[in-house]
């Protein structure tokens, strides 16, 4: 391989650097200016002069060493070549020289590893087309055309390209290329290539996380509005059912409305789960118990053609979680595995304790080191390609048919909301494995909601604060039906006025969070100031989020999520009035 010409050129450059004491070498001065490279203060003028002299002396010394200059004068060409070879061997990036036909004239060891099957110095790469680094002729032509256009205008070019190693593996690379001699156009080019795979992966992961976060925000907003709309549907259906008990044909229709509303509420819950808006109840949960409950209903969760294997660790650590959400997540994973198997097949469910170390956590962004309870659901179904795996947790993305796909998005949100990590590995025709890591539980005080067979009643005065007229109306009718006296305010400002001017006692307020004029967070302290003895329950179409939690810490007595049923809101209000507050309620 012809290396003499290129090394000679490098020697000449080194000599020129040595003979020019005012040259500013970025390798000697990383900031490219007079200043403290550590980011500290700039030296005084006298110190600058001294530092400049020292830097210039260092540059001359490096130049003399690289050029093989003897202390007594003259140049030692063989020594210069050895010195430059030593430098180029240590550079972790690919370096090469190309002739005017874009064929390799010279390459350093790092680039040899990419081009040559062995990467040995003895491999003759002279005359090897630069195209060999690209996956196809079209990819090479696109790159060359763009790079040449930039070089003609600017003298150099830097851009990313997807290259191919000698072993066939693909990787992202940043290629910087310039003319070998800026004063001439026929002497070819020099190029530096840096592996950008790790950076591209990090950028892709950040972009995916941003996209998922934006989608989650949208899903949370939709669910909030959806829950508000369902309040009058559920409330009026239950009120009519109480009034028309002697009309079975109408009761049947009302039951259908109620069941449909319940399914709509479940859809909103899945959207909120994906949005990771918070947990209702946090208690010690065993993943073994979650799996057992899915099989305890008496109905087999999969057809007989699918064999189900369960491997449970009897000493599995508990996790702090909302039991209903974790149950929901597992059922979605199980249903997804069943749907992936068209004929006969197998589903394996496994739990075990896992100690995640720092190295494993670093290799799996989003997973934290520490003790975890591990759940895996493996199927022998159709599997997925890489493009599908990359989108499998996106809402409403589905390989089955239109309108499906929220289940895995909900699983993703639930796991993330519990501080956990979920991953999927799959291959077409070979099935899929979903793996979930949830942090092991620590001791925690848990409160339980007492449930009543019949809706408890009362006679106290309750102030309802909500900007939705239908929500105000139906909630008022429900509470009046339960015996309570009702006051209503369409926003926080009017609620504060009522609290300040109403002559009687107001025992409890149902406070919505998202309202115009004055929202729940702004209204809360003013209500506390006006009526210190009045109990306040937060009510929202969102999940138990950070705002609601902060108000509970500030003195609110509980949280109720919309849409709510009489059977849920009645005991919650009664418990709060009786001094058993801080009770989160799900419809």
Q: So what's the pLDDT on residue 353?
A: 92
Rounded to whole angstroms, how far apart are CA atoms 573 and 482?
Answer: 11
- What is the rounded CA–CA span in Å between residue 576 and residue 458? 12
Cβ neighbours, 10 Å, residue 148: 14
Q: How far apart, in whole angstroms, are the C-alpha atoms of residue 151 and residue 147?
A: 6
Cross-strand bridge partners of residue 353:
373
Helix (H) or strand (E) holding 535: strand 535-540
Which residues touch 444 (CB under 8 Å, ≥6 apart)? 282, 283, 284, 320
Segment 47-99, tens digit of pLDDT:
445 544 555 544 444 444 444 455 555 555 666 666 666 666 667 788 888 98
* Beta strand pairing call for 508-512 and 461-465: parallel
Task: Quote the pLDDT of residue 363.
Answer: 80
- Phi, psi values for residue 436, rounded to 5°: -120, 130
Residues in CB range of 210: below 8 A, 6 or more apart: none
User: What is d(CA 335, CA 400) in angstroms, rounded to the nearest whole number?
Assistant: 13
The two structure tokens encoding residue 320: 């702090």
Interacting residues of 230 by C-beta distance below 8 A, sequence separation 6+: 261, 264, 265, 268, 562, 563
What is the model's pLDDT at position 88? 67
pLDDT for res 281: 60
What is the structure's pLDDT at 403? 41
469-481 helix and 566-577 helix, angle to the nearest 10 degrees: 70
Cα separation, 240 vs 315, whole angstroms: 50
Given a contact cutoff of 8 angstroms between Cβ atoms, the answer to whether 586 and 559 are in contact is: no
Residue 241 and residue 255: Cα distance in Å, rounded? 8
Distance of alpha carbon 435 from the chain centroid: 16
Write down the residue that tokens 């070549």 correspond to: 81
What's the rounded Cα separation, in Å, for the pair 76 and 73? 10
Q: Any residues with CB less than 8 A from the CB of 493 and at least 6 apart, and which?
A: 517, 518, 523
In order of start, what are the domains of the chain with their CATH numbers?
A: 1-80 (no CATH), 91-195 (3.30.450.20), 204-260+451-587 (3.40.50.2300), 283-439 (3.30.565.10)
User: Is residue 211 helix, strand or coil?
Assistant: helix
The CA-based dihedral angle spanning residues 452, 582, 512, 529, taken in that order and rounded to the nearest 10 degrees? 130
CB atoms within 10 A of CB 123: 16
How far apart CA 268 and CA 260 sit, in angstroms, is: 12
Residue 424, C-beta contacts closer than 8 angstroms, at least 6 positions apart: 384, 389, 392, 432, 433, 434, 435
**Which burial class, exposed, middle or buried, applies to 162 when counting CB atoms under 10 A from its CB (0-12, 13-18, 19+)?**
middle
Which parts of the chain sit beneath pLDDT 50? 1-45, 47-48, 51-52, 57-68, 119, 121-122, 278-279, 401-405, 443-453, 583, 585-587
Residue positions counted in the chain = 587
Cβ contact 368:440 at 8 Å: no
Give the distance from CA 310 to its chain's centroid.
30
Q: What is the DSSP string of 459-516?
A: --EEEEE-S-HHHHHHHHHHHHHTT-EEEEESSHHHHHHHHHH--S---EEEEESS-S
């Amino acid at each position: 391989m012809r290396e003499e010409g290129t090394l000679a050129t490098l020697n000449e450059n080194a000599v020129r650097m040595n003979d020019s004491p005012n040259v500013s070498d970025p390798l000697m001065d990383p900031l490219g200016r007079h200043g403290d490279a550590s980011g500290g203060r700039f030296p005084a003028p006298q110190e600058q002069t001294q530092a400049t002299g020292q830097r210039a002396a260092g540059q001359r010394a490096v130049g003399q060493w690289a050029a093989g200059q003897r202390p007594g004068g003259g140049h030692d060409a063989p020594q210069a070549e050895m010195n430059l070879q030593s430098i180029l061997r240590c550079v972790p990036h690919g370096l090469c020289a190309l002739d005017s036909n874009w064929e390799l004239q010279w390459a350093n060891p790092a680039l040899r590893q990419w081009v040559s099957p062995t990467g040995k110095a003895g491999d003759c790469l002279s005359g090897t087309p630069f195209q060999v680094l690209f996956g196809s002729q079209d990819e090479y032509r696109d790159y060359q055309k763009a790079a040449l256009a930039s070089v003609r205008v600017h003298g150099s070019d830097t851009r990313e390209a997807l290259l191919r190693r000698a072993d066939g593996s693909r990787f992202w690379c940043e290629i910087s290329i310039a003319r070998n001699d800026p004063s001439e156009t026929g002497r070819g080019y020099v190029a530096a290539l840096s592996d950008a795979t790790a950076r591209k992966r990090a950028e892709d992961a950040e972009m995916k996380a941003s996209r998922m976060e934006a989608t989650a925000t949208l899903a949370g907003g939709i669910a909030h509005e959806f829950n508000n709309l369902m309040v009058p549907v559920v409330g009026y259906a239950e009120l009519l059912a109480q009034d028309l008990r002697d009309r079975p044909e109408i009761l049947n229709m009302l039951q259908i409305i109620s069941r449909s509303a319940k399914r709509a509420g479940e859809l909103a819950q899945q959207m909120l789960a994906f949005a990771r808006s918070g947990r209702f109840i946090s208690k010690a949960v065993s993943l073994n118990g979650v799996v057992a409950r899915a099989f305890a209903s008496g109905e087999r969760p999969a057809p007989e053609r699918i064999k189900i294997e369960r491997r449970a660790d009897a000493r599995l650590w508990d996790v702090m979680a909302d039991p209903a959400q974790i149950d929901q997540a597992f059922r979605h994973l199980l249903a997804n595995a069943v749907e992936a198997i068209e004929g006969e097949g197998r589903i394996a469910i496994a739990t075990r304790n896992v100690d995640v170390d720092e190295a494993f956590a670093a290799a799996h962004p989003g997973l934290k080191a520490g003790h975890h309870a591990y759940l895996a659901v493996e199927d022998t179904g159709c599997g997925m390609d890489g493009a599908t795996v990359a989108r499998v947790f996106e809402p409403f993305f589905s390989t089955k048919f239109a309108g499906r796909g929220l289940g895995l998005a909900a699983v993703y949100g639930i796991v993330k909301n519990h501080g956990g990590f979920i991953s999927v590995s799959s291959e077409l025709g070979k099935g899929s494995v979903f793996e979930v890591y949830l942090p092991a539980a620590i001791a925690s005080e848990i409160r339980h909601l007492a449930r009543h067979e019949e809706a408890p009643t009362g006679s106290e005065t309750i102030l309802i604060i909500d900007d939705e007229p239908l929500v105000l109306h139906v909630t008022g009718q429900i509470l009046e039906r339960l015996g309570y006296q009702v006051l209503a305010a369409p926003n926080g400002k009017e609620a504060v006025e009522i609290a300040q001017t109403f002559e009687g006692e107001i025992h409890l307020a149902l406070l919505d969070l998202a309202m115009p004029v004055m929202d729940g967070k702004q209204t809360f302290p003013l209500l506390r100031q006006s009526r210190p003895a009045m109990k306040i329950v937060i009510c929202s179409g969102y999940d138990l989020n950070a705002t609601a939690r902060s108000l509970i810490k500030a003195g609110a007595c509980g949280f109720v999520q919309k849409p709510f049923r009489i059977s849920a809101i009645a005991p919650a209000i009664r418990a709060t009035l009786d001094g058993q507050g801080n009770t989160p309620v799900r419809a």
